[in-house]
Each structure stands twice: as structure tokens, then as C-alpha cells.
Amino acid sequence: MDISGRWVAGAALLAVALLGGCGGPAAPPAGTPAAPAAPGDAAARAAAALADEDLVGQVLMPFAYGADATAVSPGSVAANRASAGVDTAADMIARYRLGGLILTGQSADDPTAASQPTSNVDDPAQVRRLTDGLQRAARALPAGVPLLVGTDQEYGTVARIRTGVTALPSAMAFGAAARPAATRAAWRAAGAELAAMGVNVAFAPVADVHAAAPGGVIGSRSYGSTPEAVGGQVAAAVGGLRGAGVAATLKHFPGHGQTVVDSHADLPRLDRSLPALRSGDLPPFRAGIAAGAGLVMTGHLDLRAVDPGTPAAFSRPVVTGLLREQLGYDGVVVTDALNMAPARRWPPAEAALRALLAGNDLLLMPPDLPAVHAGLVAAVRDGRLPRDRLVASVARLLRLKQRWAAVRQPALSTLRGAAHQHAAAAVAAAAATVLRGRCGGPPLLAGPVTVTAAADQAPAAARLRAGLAARGVAVVPAGGVPVHVVGQGDDAADLRADAAVTVATDTPYVLAAARSPVLLATYSTTAAAMDAAAAVLVGAAAAPGRAPVAVPGLPRSTCG
């Protein structure tokens, strides 16, 4: 069979599993989710018919070492043997009857790098070969249903696949642009590219509402500090991904935006009253659920008002009580990575069992996969994990797979197409924000320009130089009008006192300490964001954005 038709074949296999038929539905046009078909009890019957080993495998989404499903380096073989007792990702799927796999990747500026033990993504063609091989391995399982292949592709600071794809700006840039239609178009473009590479689950968008004050661990991964505005952006992003045939994931329930502690390293406390939580943190999750999010990710957060001391992902009052019963969500719930510090307070198999009993359906990146799989099978057989509880989770997963498996996979030639590039550039241009200086009119700088940068901002500075030069500005190594670029992790010490212009490429908070007569925020380091900044500085474009978070002492924009 031509591997490019695996989505259609996957839909057929899933239809057989759910309906007992002899073939799948005709595939809809590219990028169109399958129409609802099987009633819920059909999915439950299909799940109930699976062996215990298959049921357990369906709720696991580990990672694997190696850039190919079957042909990997000796180092990757050794790492897979150490972590899972197998040689390759395909072997892992076969041995543990897996229902999903996450693609991982590391980069120097990624705040989530601590949970990424390896990188198995490089360029789109390699990712497509990898996911094709993973799906072949999944089709050979007794369950015979397609694999959920997920990755953290938020864009901005968290993006696993960075080469050869259309680079969207950060969530905060979308919030500054405040154009939901543009958000939907950009995320539909991004979703089409993920689908072309064989990724059917995006662990995005972030639904966390940023704290009203500076600081906070989520930073530019959040769309902003206003629940209603964040909800509108989240709904638009979900709609774009859905339109491209990719399942969106809302994270990190019940809301990571008020915390200053990184849940990769420790358990953050949420000292929010229930009324404050309902009005300030939950609206974006409600909006994303209403827009059709395929999954909700539970965070490793200590929600003191509901279940003090227990990470939310392991709390039945949070997952079942708050998310399922109070918000009425009956879709797939996935844990945040189980290799993060708050989840490691228990042995891996016990953590997995607790997460399922709390109400989660999919266990992300469980450490010690052999122990987790064996432990959950044993828990089913001795009654600690009621089989009907596990069947309910697998039924939800089968419904999700049925919904998305019949999407015809786009060709890799769709990546970085003109329409996709335009959609991303439109958001970057709309996000550009002047927080000090003239709004429109003559250029904000004149004469030769020297662009300098804080540590780690050299690539962004190079893109800004290119954008200025393309608009006829003389860019010189020294002696010109100083333009200084700051970004993620920078503070007042990274500013330049004599800069005529300071450009912030991450959250805009650092601009509160800047003395420059012109302050410009781009919220992102993409080529499109830096080109938009250059256009504003030379007077070729307005700066229509408004800071989606309050910067002490500065307006949201000088543009009204």
C-alpha cells in the first residue's frame, strides 16, 4: 500500500474496530475532519473487546529514541533498551501495544527542555518517514487502529519542529494582534503542516491566563492576562487546528498562568479561591472546549482550594470533579509529562495508576515503560484499576482516533507555502507594539544604524539588520544610531542605556526599565516578527498591536 494513503487506511481499520464493518468510510477532502459516525456505545464495545494488554497500551504515550521507527543509531538502541527493553520505536509499539507516541526535541531557549530527554525530530521529510513507520507498527497490532502522534508545537519558545516549517509567532504575539480570524488562519496553516508530517495531536494551544503582574513561568506562551481575550484566541487556535485535521490540546488545566514555580522542577501552589479560578482561569478552557478541542492536558499544579497537596493531574476532585463534572468535558484528558518532578513522588507504575483513577485517559511520557505497562495490567487483573474505568478511557481515545483518522494527509509540498507564510506574517505585523515613541508618521530612526543584542539574541538581531537593510537603511557595525534587542530571560542588566530604540522579542516587561525614547515589542524572534519591527522603525508600517499584559509605567500602546 502507498504509505501516503495511511490516513484513509487508518480510518478503515478504525471503522472495522468500532462498527464491525468490512471497510472504512470514503476519505473527505484534505484537511476536513471525518463526520461523526459511530455512536459512543460502539467505541465502548470495541474497547471492551480488547485484551488487557491492549487496553493498557492504548492509554500510554511514551517517547522513543531515534529518528526512524526501525533504523536507529547504536546509541539510540542502547537508550531504548535502557528505558524500555527494546531496540526501536517500532519494537516499543509492538511490545507494549501502544496507542500513542510523542515526538520530542530540545533547543537552547526552550523552557520545557527538562522534560525532553532526547530529540527525534530534524526536518519535515525525516519526521514524515518516522511517523509513517510508527503507523505501520501500529497497524500490525491486534487493535489495528491508528496511532496518536503528538508533539509540543506551541511555536514561540516551545516548538519541537523548527526546521522547514512555517514559523508562527508566540502566543503573546497573537494576543497583541488581537485578531481571532488571523489566529485561526495561522493555526490552520500550522495544522496542515503538522498533518503533512504525520502529527495528528498538537499539544497546543496554551490556555493559561498570564498573571496580572510581571513574572510567572508561562511568559510569552500565554496569549495574555485577560480571560476573555485569551479565550477568544484559544478558541480561534483550536478552530484552525480542527480545520486542518489536527486535534488541539488545551493546557495546563486548571491554569498555570498565576505561578512563578516551574512544574518541571517542583510543584507550584495555586492559592486561588474557587470564585477566582472560575472567573480568572477557567474561561479559556471553556472556550477551547466549546470550540472542539480534542484533548485537555492536566497540569502538575497544587490547587489548594480543591485538593491541597495533590498535583492536579493526580487529583480526582480536579480531573473528574472540576473538569468533567463542573465543566462538562467528556473528551480525552491527557496528563502533563509524567517524567516531571511532581509526578516522581511516586514510583512510575503507582503514578500511572493514580493518574488513571483521577480521571485521565492518556498518560504522557511515563518513565520506566516496562514497569508501568506491567503494573497497570496487574492492577486491572487484581481489581485496583476497574476494567470498566480503563474501557471508558480507551473508548474516548477510539472516538478521538475515529474523528481524526479519516483526514487525508496533505503532501509535504504544502509546507512553507506562500499562503502559510502570509498567514504567519500577518499576525507578526499586527502584533508589533510601540510602548514609547511616535505612532506612525515619520521614521522612528534615521541615519546609519547599529544593532546590538543581549546574550542569546544574536539571531533576532541579525534578522532585524536584514529587515532594515532591505528597506534601504545603512546598517553599520559601530557608530550608528544604537538599536538594542533583548528577549527571553533578559532583565534590566541586559539593557543598553544609550540605545535610541529597544526592541523586546519576548514578554515586554523588561521595557519598564529601558530608557530608550522608542520602545518596541515584537513578542517573538521569527523572521516575520523582526521584519515587522524593521517596517515600523523606518515608518513603512504602523504598529497596530497592544500589549496583552500590563507593563508598569508604560501604556499598552502609544497608538491609542
Residues designated catalytic: 264, 336
Pairing of strands 518-521, 433-436: antiparallel
Nearest alpha carbon to residue 150 among 125, 131, 129: 131
**Beta partners for residue 101, in sequence order:** 149
CB 100 within 8 A of CB 149: yes
Burial label for 374, CB within 10 Å (0-12, 13-18, 19+), is middle
Pairing of strands 332-335, 481-486: unpaired
Please give the Cα distance from 17 to 50 (Å, whole number). 10
Which residues lie below 8 Å from residue 459, measured CB to CB, with a gap of 6+?
Answer: 525
Helix (H, G, I), strand (E, B) or coil at 425: helix
Nearest alpha carbon to residue 288 among 209, 246, 230, 334: 230
**Beta partners for residue 335, in sequence order:** 298
What is the rounded radius of gyration, in angstroms, for the C-alpha atoms of the chain?
A: 24
Please give the Cα distance from 256 to 274 (Å, whole number). 15
User: What is the sign, positive or negative, of the torsion defined by CA atoms of 139, 295, 159, 59?
Assistant: negative
Helices (H), 274-335: 274-280, 283-290, 316
Nearest alpha carbon to residue 518 among 499, 533, 534, 505: 499
Helix (H, G, I), strand (E, B) or coil at 282: coil
Pairing of strands 518-521, 201-202: unpaired
Type and span of the H or E element at 196:
helix 180-196
The DSSP code for 456 is T
Please give the Cα distance from 253 to 326 (Å, whole number). 13
Q: Angle at CA 501, nearest 5°, toward 498 and 506?
A: 115
Helices (H), 105-179: 124-139, 171-177
What one-letter code names the amino acid at 313?
A
Helix (H, G, I), strand (E, B) or coil at 102: strand
Nine-digit cell string for 33: 475532519
First to last CA, the chain: 59
The DSSP code for 89 is H
The DSSP code for 86 is S
Nine-digit cell string for 380: 486491572
Which residues lie below 8 Å from residue 41, measured CB to CB, with a gap of 6+?
Answer: none
Type and span of the H or E element at 374:
helix 369-382
